[in-house]
Structure 1
Amino acid sequence: MSKEKKYKANDVYQERASQAKTVRKIVFISLSAFFVVVLAVIIGGYTYFVNALKPVDASDDGQDVEVHIPVNTSTSQIAQILEDEGVIRNATFFRYYTRYKNESGFQAGTYSLNTSMDTDEIIEELKDGLVMAEAATTIVIPEGLTLNTITERLSEFTGDSQDDIFSFIDDEAFVQSLIEEYDMLTEEILDEDIHHPLEGYLFPASYQFDEEQPDIEAVVRSMLDQMQLVYNERQGIINASDYTFHELLTIGSIVEREAREREDRFTIAGVLHNRLNEGMMLQVDPTVAYAQGEHIYMTTYDDLEVDSPYNTYQHTGLPPGPISTVREEALVAAADPNETNYLYFYARYNGEIIYNEEYDAHLEARDAYRHEWQEAAEDTE
C-alpha cells in the first residue's frame, strides 16, 4: 500500500474515532442528564411524600379538631374527611400510606384530633380511640340477589314502600347525578333496555347504620361507595380487559347466579368469554329468569320464548346489564377468567358443574341430570 493511501486510511480512522468519541460523549451526557432528572424526581417525590405525612401544624400546641367518622366509612372516605377537616395534608397519600403499612380496623366515632399530630399518630388514634359508635341497625345484602329482592329488604329496613324506593333509585336525574359523582358509573346504565340503572352496582355486604330506619339514599350510597372501592382497587385487571366495567359486572352477575364454588366461577367465566369470542349465544338460564322477573327452577322451552334483550337464547352477546349483585371474586373472574377450551357447562342441582367442549356431550349431561331440577320443582309445590 502506498504512503498516500496509508495516510488517507489513517485520516479516515482518526475521523471515525473522533466521531465515535463525540457520540460516546453525547450518549454519556444524555444518560447522565436523564439519571439526574430521574433522581431529582425520585428525591422530589419522596420529599413531597414525607412532607405530606408530617403534621399540618408543626407547632407543639396545634389546633384541636373534632372529626366524625360515620359507620361503614371506607379508608378512602376517611382520608377525604381528614383532609377536609384540615387534619392531614393529602388524602391520596394518606390512603397509599395506610395501604403500604397494611393498616385497617379504623373505628367509626367522633374523635378529637390535633393539627400537630403526624399521620402515624392519627392512624393509631382512629384504631385505638375510646370513642366508638355502635350501629343501631344492620342490613345484610347477599350475593346473587336481584334489585327487586333487594328493594323488598330495603323496604322493611327503611320503612319506605318498594314502589317509592324504585321511584327514587330509578329517577333519571338522581342516576345522572350519581354518574357525575362515581367514576365506575357511565352513561351505559341509562340504556333504555336496562330494567334498573343501578342493578348490579349495589355491592353485597353487611351494612351498619346509626339510625333505626336510615334514609334510603344513605343506604344506596353506602353500597355504591363499597362498589366504587372495589372498582378502584381492581383497576389493573379492569383496564386490561377487553370489556367495560359495566360489561364485566354483567358477566360477573351471570357467573354469580351459575356458580357456587370459587374454581367454577373462574371456569364458567372462561366459558362465557369463549362463547362471546366465537359469536355464539350465551344461552344461560338466569338471564331468562331475569327477563321474566321470577325465579325458575328449570327453564322450559316456553320460557325461552320470552321477548326480552335479556334473553340470551334469542340474542347474541351480553344482555344490556347485570342481573344481580356481584361479589368481588365474581368480578375478578369476569375480568381474568381461567383459560379453557370448554364451550358448554351444565349446573347440577347439587352445585356440581359439568363442562364439555362438544355440544353432543353437553346434551348428554343435561339429559342425564335434568330430572334433578324437575324433582326439586315438584318438592316445592
Structure 2
Amino acid sequence: MPRQAPPEQPPARPQPRRPRHAPADPEPHGRRPGDLRGGPPPERRPRPPARRRRSPNDGVPPDENPTEILDLGFDDEADEYEDDHESYEDYDEDYDEDRAEPQYFDGDDDEEPPRTRRRHGKRLFGWLAALLVLALLAGGAYYGARELLGFGYEDYPGPGERDVLLHVEDGDSTGAIAAKLQELDVVASSEAFVAASEDDQRVLSVQPGYYVLKTRMSGAGAVGKLVEPTSRVGQMQLRAGTQLDDVTQPDGSVTPGVFAQLSAASCADLNGKSTCVPVEELRRVAETADLAELGVPEWAIEGAERAEPRRRIEGLVAPGVYDVQPGWDAKRLLTEVLTTSATRMQAAGLPDAAGSTGYTPYEILIIASLVEREAVQQDFDKVARVIYNRLEAGQRLQFDSTVNYVLDRPEVRTNDHDRLRAGPYNTYQNTGLPPTPISAPSAEAITAAEEPADGAWMYFVKCETNGLSCFADDYSEHQQNVADARRRGVF
C-alpha cells in the first residue's frame, strides 16, 4: 500500500513581539492565561458613551418648518474615524511605559527662567517704591522742621544797623526784591525774606520806588519795615494844572509848585544826614542849564529858550507819579522828571499830532495848558475850539488864567486893575498865545488841543456850580450867560 503522507500541519503562528522594555511573560511562550491557540478572542470592553455638550438650543421647541439639511457625506466618514480609533480610555496601560522619558536641553547657565526674572523685577520695583516714599517723608519732615524751628537758611537776629536805600523796579517779584535785599546786606539770605513774606500778604502790594531799610535785619523785620508807609521816599505825585512856582489860594493856604514838590521828594534822613535839595538850587539849574542836557524834547527847545529864564521849563513837567532817588543832585533830579515827561507827552500825541492843526507842537502844549486851567474835562474840546476860533479871527483871548499866572493866583476871575497890568502873559492886552504854557497840562487837555470840537463858539463862561461852562457864538449871547450865572450865584 502506498505510504500515506502525514497530515499537513498548519503553518506556525509567529510569536508576538514583546515590547522592548516589557517585563517577561508570566506564562511560557509569552501567553497570558486563557490565551490559547484557537481559543475564543478576548472580549472587548465596551466603549463608554461620549459625553454630550449642552446645546444652546436645549429646551427650545422644535421648528415646525425645519430647514432642510443637505447630506454632504461627512457623517459617515466621522463614524468610520470613530470606529477605527479608540477613545483615550481604551489605550493600554502599557502605552505609558513605551513613551520616552522627557528630556531637557541645556541652555545658557547664566540665564534665569522667565518666572525668576519676573520675581526679581517685582522685588526691585518694590525697593524703588519704598525708597521714594522714604525720600518724600524725609523732605516733608525737613520742610516742616525748617518752618517750625527756623533752620535751613541764614537770618540776622537783630533789628538792623545802618540806613540803606532799596530800589523796587516795575515788575520786581518777591524773589527779585529778596535778592536785592541780600545784595544790600539788609538780610542774611534771600530765603529769610521770602519765608517771612509768606506770612504777610502786604508785600504783594509794594509799588515801584525807593524804600529806606536797615542793614543786617531779620527777614521778618525787613518785611515789616518795607510795608510801612513811611519807608517809601523819593515819590512826587504831580497833579494836572500845577505850575513851577507855588500858588497862594484865596484862603491863604499855599499849593506847592513843581520845584517845591521835587525838593520834598529829594528828602530822606539817611544815617542822620539829610538829602534834601533846596528849591532855590532846583530853580537855578532850571534857569541856567542846557535844556537838551536836562532832557527837554527837541521840539520844545526853541520855544522854551525864547521865554524868560525862570519860566522856560514851565509846562514841560507832565502830571503823574515820579520816583527819584534821595541823594541825587538838582541836575539829576530835573533830568529824571523832564525825560520821563517827554515820554508821557509823546504818548499823548506830541509832537506828531500837531502836524494837522497848523500849530507847532510847543504851541499845542501852550493851548493845552490854557484849556487845563480854564475848564473842566467835559468842556476841554469846546474851550479848545474857542481858542482856535479867536486865534484865527485875530481876536484877543482875554483869559483871566493868563493874568493870574504871573500873580501866582489860581482864581479864574480878575479885576480891572489886574487886566491893565502889562506883560507878555496878559491876554487882555496882547493878541495871540502867551510865550509859554502856564501849567502842566494833562493828556486829556493835550488831546483836546490836538482835536478840538466843531463849533462857532467865540465865548464861554462858567455857569454851573460843577464847573461846566456856557458857550456863545456872539457877545450878546455871552452877556446873557454871564448875567444868568451871577443871578444864580455861580460866581
Instruction: Classify the TM-score, shorter chain.
Output: 0.5 to 0.7
Q: 1:297 to 1:353 in 2, by over 3 A?
A: closer
- The letter for the 2-side match of 1:299 is T
Alignment of 1:46-125 (within 5 A): 106-107=171-172
Contact 2:404 2:410 in 1 (8 A): yes
CA contact (8 A) 2:282 2:331 kept: no
The structural deviation recorded for 1:168 is 1.3
Checking the alignment, whether the CA contact within 8 Å between 2:294 and 2:335 is kept in structure 1 is no
Match of 2:280 in 1: 163
Q: State the match for 1:260 in structure 2.
A: 376
Cα offset for 1:71? 6.6
Q: Aligned partners of 2:398, 2:407: CA distance in 1, in Å?
A: 15
Q: Kindly report which structure 2 residues correspond to 1:208-219, keeping only aligned pairs within 5 A, or say none.
A: 208-211=323-326, 214-219=328-333
Equivalent residue for 1:243, pick from 340, 350, 359: 359
- Summarize deviations over 1:192-243 as a string: whole Å, max 9, x none: 45751110000110112343x5543343223322332234332442222211
Which letter maps to 1:277? E
Q: Deviations over 1:253-301 (max 9, x none)?
A: 000001222x311111011111111110011111010132333353111
Q: CA RMSD in A?
A: 3.0
Give the number of equivalent residue pairs.
253
> Deviation digits for residues 331-375 of structure 1, max 9, x if unmatched?
111111111111101024530111111101112222332477897
Bigger Cα displacement from structure 2, 248-257 vs 327-336: 327-336
2:466 & 2:353 partners in 1: Cα distance?
Answer: 32
Alpha-carbon contact 1:297-1:373 (below 8 Å) kept: no
Counterpart residue type for residue 329 of structure 1: E
Q: Residue 184 of structure 1 aligns to a residue in which SS?
A: helix
Question: Tell me, what secondary structure is at the counterpart of 1:302?
Answer: helix
- The structure with the greater share of residues assigned to helix is 1
Q: Deviations over 1:160-199 (max 9, x none)?
A: 322222111111x3325347x7333322101145751110
Q: Deviations over 1:36-92 (max 9, x none)?
A: xxxxxxxxxxxxxxxxxxxxxxxxxxxxxxxxxx778xxxxxxxxxxxxxxxxxxxx
- 1:106-185 matches, within 5 Å, as 106-107=171-172, 134-136=209-211, 137=233, 138-148=235-245, 149-158=257-266, 159-171=276-288, 173-175=289-291, 177-178=293-294, 182-185=297-300
Contact conserved, 2:237 with 2:319, CA < 8 A, in 1? yes
The farther-off stretch of 182-191 and 137-146 is 182-191
Alpha-carbon spacing, 1:344–1:221, altered in 2? closer, same or farther (3 Å): same
Name the stretch that deviates more: 362-371 or 139-148. 362-371
The whole-number CA distance in structure 1 between the counterparts of 2:413 and 2:368 is 21
Pair member with larger Rg: 2
CA contact (8 A) 1:291 1:306 kept: no
How far apart are the structure 2 equivalents of 1:110 and 1:264?
Answer: 45
C-alpha distance in structure 2 between counterparts of 1:194 and 1:346, whole Å: 33
* Whole-angstrom distance in 1 between the partners of 2:319 and 2:168: 16
1:15-30 correspondence to structure 2 within 5 Å: none
Q: Distance in 2 between matches of 1:157 and 1:134?
A: 11
Query: What TM-score comes out, normalization by structure 2 length?
Result: 0.47
**Where do 5+ consecutive residues of structure 1 fail to align?**
1-69, 73-104, 113-130, 376-381
Instruction: Provide the TM-score with structure 1 as the length reference.
Output: 0.59
Inter-partner Cα distance in structure 2 for 1:372 and 1:142: 30
Q: Residues 110, 197 of structure 1: CA spacing in aligned structure 2 closer, same or farther, 3 A cutoff?
A: farther
In structure 1, C-alpha distance between the alignment counterparts of 2:279 and 2:244, rounded to whole Å? 11
Q: Distance in 2 between matches of 1:354 and 1:265?
A: 13
State the match for 1:221 in structure 2.
335
Output aligned runs, 1:178-193, within 5 Å. Answer: 178=294, 182-193=297-308
Q: What secondary structure is seen at the aligned counterpart in 2 of 1:354?
A: strand
**Higher RCO (C-alpha under 8 Å, 6+ residues apart):** 1
Change (3 A) 1:139 1:301: same
Aligned equivalent of 1:196:
311
Task: State whether residues 265 and 330 of structure 1, in contact with CA within 8 Å, keep that contact through their aligned partners in structure 2.
Answer: yes
The answer to whether structure 1 residue 310 and structure 2 residue 420 are counterparts is no
Distance 1:214 1:167 in 2: 16
1:207 corresponds to: 322
Q: Is the Cα–Cα contact under 8 Å of residues 366 and 438 in structure 2 kept in the other structure?
A: yes
2:478 pairs with one of 332, 338, 362: 362
CA separation of 1:333 and 1:133: change in aligned 2, threshold 3 A: closer
Aligned partner letter, 1:245: P
